[in-house]
Homo-oligomer: A and B are copies of this chain.
Amino acid sequence: MPKTNIRTLAKQLGLSQGTVSKALKDSYEISAATKERVMALARKLNYVPNAYASSLRKQKSKTIALVLPEVADSFFSVAINGIESVAQKKGYHVLIYLTHENFAKEKAILNELKSGRVDGVLVSVARETKHPNHISALQTNGVPVVLFDRVLADTITAEVCTNDFECGYIATKHLIERGCRKIAYLSISKNLSIVNERLEGYKKAIREYELPPDKDLLITCNNSEGHNHAAIKKSLSSKNRPDGILASVEKLIITTYHVCKALHLEIPANVKVAGFSILPSAAILSPPVTTISQPAFEIGEAAAALLFKILEKKDHGPENTKIILPSALIIRGST
């Protein structure tokens, strides 16, 4: 069965391609009767327009790309929902790419996206990413970019993120007020601005309460579960072990719990734990973990909405808009 295309329809109806094309999109130029005939046959033959022919001709793809470090993280899974819901409403398709926190891969992916395959791109950068050059390169090619959550410092890109500095501060303050004096901060990157914002908030609280700053309390984790487990274990086994832990991402909370379990350290008696996360199981962990809970769905939604705003050029110069949505500290048993 040969695919039915516009030509097939046109031939069978004794019309020209152009007329059929216009009829299919309900153009005002076409008579109601003709439209009816065209629609009827299209339905009958189950005509589906070829997406790429149309994209090629119109130079737009009705597709956006979503570039993520990973997907097995509650934040990102929920953010995808927000993004997808907006895209679906707009009739857009979503290409998903995972960088696995790898900068080279991220760069390669963004470079490929210059191909006209997408009209715009949403990015949450990898932990290894330091410079925005690959992002600017894409923008220079006429593909708008919106960063979300994992944004880059000092870029002129549109961005949606949360109040990381403030949350780092509030969470640390909370730990201090619950009696912690040696609070470890678990980072996943030395350069990621979001992680550093949280760290700066942490430092501000430390300063404010005049706790001794301690380099050993700043633990840089990475993408290897084994490495992270070892690093946290080392810290929690040391003589000078921390009595509080602030995890900058979800998986580090889980690793910390595992380490505490292995070392028979009681949470919160021996060490208090808080972290950035929207784990649905946060409240039923043993003990329930205090979290800084990000509005993941809303961030995804806002990022997608902003991208469409740029695509539709409604607003004047939304290319540099920065949107900040607030997170909330949810205190539970671990602190």
Interface residues of A (CB under 8 A from B): 1, 3, 46, 48-53, 55-56, 61, 63, 66, 70-74, 77-78, 80-81, 84, 88, 93-98, 111-112, 114-117, 137, 140-142, 251, 254, 257-258, 261, 279-281, 283-288
Whole-angstrom distance between the alpha carbons of A281 and B256 in the complex?
A: 11
Whole-angstrom distance between the alpha carbons of A251 and B77 in the complex?
A: 14
Q: Are A98 and B84 in contact, CB atoms less than 8 angstroms apart?
A: yes
Option from B140, B279, B283, B286 in Cβ contact (under 8 Å) with A258? B283
In the complex, what residue of chain B is closest to A72 when comparing beta carbons? Answer: B77
Q: Are B48 and A115 in contact, CB atoms less than 8 angstroms apart?
A: yes
* Residue picked from A50, A52, A114, most chain B C-beta under 10 Å: A52
* Residues in B whose Cβ lies below 8 Å from that of A117: 51-52, 93
What are 11 of the A-B contact pairs (CB < 8 Å)? A52-B52, A53-B56, A71-B77, A71-B81, A72-B77, A72-B81, A81-B98, A84-B98, A257-B281, A258-B284, A286-B287
Q: Are B48 and A56 in contact, CB atoms less than 8 angstroms apart?
A: no
In the complex, what residue of chain B is closest to A116 when comparing beta carbons? Answer: B50
Whole-angstrom distance between the alpha carbons of A114 and B47 in the complex?
A: 9
* Residues in B whose Cβ lies below 8 Å from that of A279: 281
In the complex, what residue of chain B is closest to A80 when comparing beta carbons? Answer: B71
In the complex, what residue of chain B is closest to A55 when comparing beta carbons? Answer: B52
Whole-angstrom distance between the alpha carbons of A251 and B78 in the complex?
A: 14
Option from B1, B50, B73, B111 in Cβ contact (under 8 Å) with A115? B50
